[in-house]
Amino acid sequence: MIILKRGELMKNTFKPVTIVFKVSDNIKELMIKHYYDRRCEKTPPYAIFQVKDFDCVTTLYESGKVMFQGIGADIEASYWIEQERIINNRNIDSTPTKEKKEKNNEKKIFINESTVGSDEVGTGDYFGPLVVTASYVSKEDITFMQELKARDSKKLTDEKIIEIAPAIIKRIPHTTIILTNEEYNSYHTSEFNMNKVKAILHNKCLLSVIKKENITNTKIVVDQFENPKAYYAHLANTKERVTNITFLTKAEDQCMSVAASSIISRYIFLKEMKKLSNRFNIEIPLGASSLVDEVGATLVKKYGQNILNEIAKLNFKNTNKILEKIKK
């Protein structure tokens, strides 16, 4: 396992994106309440509201379609995608609109093949690091993964992940990189794009596994978070790049190595969150909800504002909410 600290990740630049998807009715109601105090007076036709922040414009339409536009679109969208997953057990494709691929009739399902695959956890959580894992699952280990019911890993409870992950970690070759909050925040101040950071970390993990296991002629699958062209563009200045990648949305359902990587990343992330809870003797919540704001305000009052740089992603809007709370 690799823990990246300040100065160990290449610098990058922001790129505005547009992310659009349809939310469930219950999430729609939550969004209306969440953004109520920040609504613009004028809204586009058929829009329920529009909110303009410095890095993202959020528009919710009567149809339930929500659009996030700007350099912070991926951060803003990730919170609501996570709410859909937690509350409705629903996975949403957040690939930027202009970068979505045309659907290919060929089914790219590699569930019964030897593969190398990667996935990440922590992009929708205010507290805690970003964790990326790449794994190699051979044909001989597919039955092992199936017996653990590791497929459809996004649908597993955290309790189930904690139960089965140690066995996967012990048997399945993998590399995990933990991007600390201090490292994450140092690049945010230099205007970085989260998708570029994820591309760099995925590439590092994939390279590590391929080299360690001396892998050749094996399918490489990445759980798609961006158009392939944009993914490779993020790696333009990288000396070594893994190419010939198959990018799949909901890849953990179709590829055992991505399922393994998803489970390992989640397990490591939960362990890191447990460490934070033990360190401060308070339950550190997942996600980016109002409960996160309450806990953040409690920690800032006790340890000072700088504590957030150590344990949180400062570019989330929770930071401003927390600082507003402690002023009252």
Q: Are residues 26 and 111 in the same domain?
A: no
Q: What is the DSSP letter of 92?
A: -
Residue-level pLDDT at 5:
55
Residue where one domain finishes, among candidates 99, 123, 154 = 99
Has residue 256 been placed in a domain? yes
Q: What is the mean pLDDT of residues 7-21?
A: 65
Question: CB of 43 within 8 A of CB of 233?
Answer: no
H-helix or E-strand spanning residue 308: helix 307-311
Q: Are residues 244 and 161 in the same domain?
A: yes
Q: Is the pLDDT of residue 108 over 70?
A: no
What is d(CA 216, CA 177) in angstroms, rounded to the nearest whole number?
A: 22
Has residue 68 been placed in a domain? yes
Has residue 289 been placed in a domain? no
Q: Which of 244, 169, 230 is nearest to 200 (CA)?
A: 230
Q: Are residues 28 and 91 in the same domain?
A: yes
Q: Are residues 269 and 127 in the same domain?
A: yes
What size, in residues, is the chain?
328
Q: Are residues 185 and 119 in the same domain?
A: yes
Question: CB of 80 within 8 A of CB of 35?
Answer: no
Has residue 136 been placed in a domain? yes
CATH number at residue 48: 3.30.310.10
Mean residue pLDDT across the chain: 87
Q: Which of 265, 248, 224, 255 is nearest to 145 (CA)?
A: 255
105 confidence band (pLDDT: 50, 70, 90): very low
End-to-end CA distance of the chain: 42
Residue where one domain finishes, among candidates 274, 299, 316 = 274
Q: Are residues 232 and 118 in the same domain?
A: yes
CATH number at residue 114: 3.30.420.10
What is d(CA 261, CA 198) in angstroms, rounded to the nearest whole number?
A: 14
Q: Are residues 151 and 66 in the same domain?
A: no
Number of domains composing the chain? 2
What range defines the domain where residue 170 resides?
2-9+104-274
Residue where one domain finishes, among candidates 76, 99, 122 = 99
Helix (H, G, I), strand (E, B) or coil at 203: helix
Has residue 318 been placed in a domain? no
Has residue 294 been placed in a domain? no
Q: What is the mean pLDDT of residues 59-71?
A: 91
Q: Are residues 185 and 259 in the same domain?
A: yes
Query: Which residue has better confidence, 6 or 281?
Result: 281
pLDDT digits (tens, 9 = 90+) for 113-165: 899 999 999 988 999 999 999 999 999 999 999 999 886 667 788 999 999 99
Q: Which amino acid is at 302?
A: K
Question: CB of 222 within 8 A of CB of 117?
Answer: yes
Q: What is the mean pLDDT of residues 85-114?
A: 66
Residue 117 burial (CB count, 10 A): 34
Residue-level pLDDT at 6:
54
Does this model's pTM top 0.75? My answer is no
Q: Are residues 219 and 81 in the same domain?
A: no
Q: Are residues 172 and 246 in the same domain?
A: yes
What are the residues whose beta carbons fall under 8 Å from the beta carbon of 35, sequence distance 6 or more? 49, 51, 58, 60
